[in-house]
Amino acid sequence: MKSYQERIRALREDHDLTQEQVAKYLGTSQTMYARYERGANELPLRHLVALCELYRVSADEILGIRLT
């Protein structure tokens, strides 16, 4: 199972965006965004919501939650 860090990286790459572009969208630095993708820092809820809006996916998809 992929981690949310792997999922946000894959979504970014699938949308042909750089870390710098996503960081700018989130209102943070490229360095901080890179730390989210590496798992060095936890992704703040406000950034999770913003990424859902950017990629047009649910939080469940980013977090890997499967409801049965």
Q: State the Cα–Cα distance between residues 27 and 20, nearest whole angstrom.
A: 10
pLDDT beyond 90 at 1: no
pLDDT beyond 80 at 68: no
Q: How many domains does the structure of the chain reveal?
A: 1
Give the pLDDT confidence of 6-17 residue by residue, as tens digits: 999 999 999 999
Q: Which domain holds residue 50?
A: 4-63
pTM above 0.85, yes or no: yes
Give the pLDDT confidence of 22-57 residue by residue, as tens digits: 999 999 999 999 999 999 999 999 999 999 999 999
Examine residue 68 and state whether it is found in any structural domain, yes or no: no
Q: What is the CATH number of the domain that holds 19?
A: 1.10.260.40
Sign of the torsion formed by the C-alpha atoms of 41, 51, 10 and 14: negative
